[in-house]
Amino acid sequence: MFDMFFPDRYVASAYVINYEKLYEEGVRGLIFDIDNTLVPHGAPADRRAKELFQRLKEIGFRCCLISNNQEPRVKMFNEDIQVDYVYNAHKPSTKNYKKAMEIMGTKTADTLFVGDQLFTDVWGAKRAGISNILVKPIHPREEMQIVLKRYLERIVLYFYGRSKKN
């Protein structure tokens, strides 16, 4: 019933993913959400984010940020990491996941999405045919509409956890 929202993988943080292994497995493009995936809401790129994107570039990945935020927010985060981005993405619409792949020159088979929300990030990636990893939110402070979605996410994640035990 809820499996259309189940992530392919669920990990603690975008910073614990074994990106070298993903590259060995053939992943070439990484699409990231920003807020609460890489940094707290509204924050600029911090040291961890800057180091992560430097590492990803050295490995050989193409990277693209995809955010429902407006351009000033996305541009500000991107100042110090310098990757491609798509703003005002209307996730879970698939249009801008596809645009991100076009920008990176990748296909669904060699692209991976990383985000912190089931009903926008993961569901959009799944609908676009992209492998995905759900990460736990970095910071508890969130906008009201997201707080409400988190209650529903807990229900889905409960069933996701049960499905992994069977």
| 3-state helix/strand/coil string of 49-97 | HHHHHHHHHHHCCEEEEECCCCHHHHHHHHCCCCCEEECCCCCCCCHHH
The radius of gyration computed from the CA coordinates of the chain, to the nearest angstrom, equals: 15
Looking at residue 140, what is its pLDDT? 64
CA dist 166 and 163 (Å) reads 5
pLDDT at residue 31 in the model: 98
- Report the candidate in 9, 1, 19 with the shortest Cα–Cα distance to residue 130: 9
Longest dimension (CA), the chain: 45
Distance CA 110, CA 141 (A): 33
Confidence (pLDDT) at 158:
78
Per-residue model confidence as pLDDT tens for the chain (166 residues) = 677 889 999 999 999 999 999 999 999 999 999 999 999 989 999 999 999 999 999 999 999 999 999 999 999 999 999 999 999 999 999 999 999 999 999 999 999 999 999 889 999 999 999 999 999 998 766 565 666 676 677 777 778 887 877 6
Beta-ladder partners of 85: 65
pLDDT recorded at residue 163: 82
> Are the CB atoms for 16 and 52 separated by under 8 Å?
no
